[in-house]
Amino acid sequence: MRLKELNEQYGIDGALEFQSEQHTEMAYIKTAYSTAKVSIYGAQVLSFIPKGKDDLLFVSSQSVYKEGKAIRGGIPVCWPWFNAHPTDSTKPSHGFARISRWEVLSTKKEGDEVVISLGLKSDDRTKDFLPYDFEAVLEVTVGKRLNVELTTKNVDSKPFDVSAALHTYFNISDIATVKLRGLHKMAYKDDVLGIDALQEDEMVTFSGRTDRRYKETEAEVSIIDANKTIKVGKKGSKITVVWNPGAELASQMADLGKENYKKMVCVESANSLNDTITIQPGTSHCLGTTIYSV
């Protein structure tokens, strides 16, 4: 759908406008309490700015905007698998949703909130990656809070499994001083060290590359930064991913850059490990995250 048609059909005066940018269209959203930016490519939220505050989301200044490439930052949709494909390493890391062009399904303004829904359906291309019929919908609600929900519906005659994450990059002042509250006494898989461990300290802190999947937790996490606290809630998830690449890995990531790792931390609602989801025919699963600043 061309830009003019998008704005005529789905634009909302004073609240939502589509603009052509990079290789896709972006939805610019404005409410009484916040602004946001959503890329149609990848169905990826790239900005959420509460009124009078800085952007809560981080997007790398080195991000690559190109078909077939994931945008580094915001809230990439990792789906229908998280990390590497479980059986075929030639398939794209974190699935194909974040490198697909989604369709605008609807937009609406409800009170002080604006909602945009984007959809992705199975076709000949997706069958190469996931050989089932599905309908995926990402609903983004912008207001005092940012709420993002990914719903996967099985419209096939057979069940299928999905793992997923809303891979949220948060904008912080310094990874060396930021702390996370809400994961105390939680068991986790350390994907850097390849071990299982327990979060003994009340706060999660960062002293190098960190890649952890906290298990059996539905708790809200607080990101405690120098000048703000960001609250991260979740839905339909028992795994919380905490990630920062650290200096060495960041230096190898051309779309991040050597120093940008200091300004970001990922706290993600995920379905992974023992929380991989089996979706029966005719049923659906919803994975969500809610973000706000206090």
Average pLDDT, rounded, for the chain? 97
* Buried-state track 151-164, b at ≥16 Cβ within 10 A, e below 16: bbbbebeeebebbb
> Residue 167 catalytic?
yes
**100-125 confidence digits (pLDDT tens):** 999 999 999 999 999 999 999 999 99
- Residue 74 DSSP symbol: S
Choose among 161, 163, 157, 134: nearest CA to 281: 157
Judged on CB neighbours under 10 Å (0-12, 13-18, 19+), 247 is middle
- Above 80 in pLDDT, residue 238? yes
**166-189 confidence digits (pLDDT tens):** 999 999 999 999 999 999 999 999
Distance CA 211, CA 186 (A): 15
Query: Region 26-55: what's the mean pLDDT?
Result: 98
Catalytic residue among 8, 23, 167, 216: 167
Query: Which stretch of DSSP H or E encloses residue 10?
Result: helix 3-10
3-state secondary structure 222-248: EEECCCCEEEEEEECCCEEEEEECHHH
Query: Region 233-250: what's the mean pLDDT?
Result: 97
> Residue 110 catalytic?
no
Please report the domains of the chain, with CATH numbers, ordered by start residue. Answer: 3-293 (2.70.98.10)
| Residue count of the chain | 294
Query: Region 158-171: what's the mean pLDDT?
Result: 98
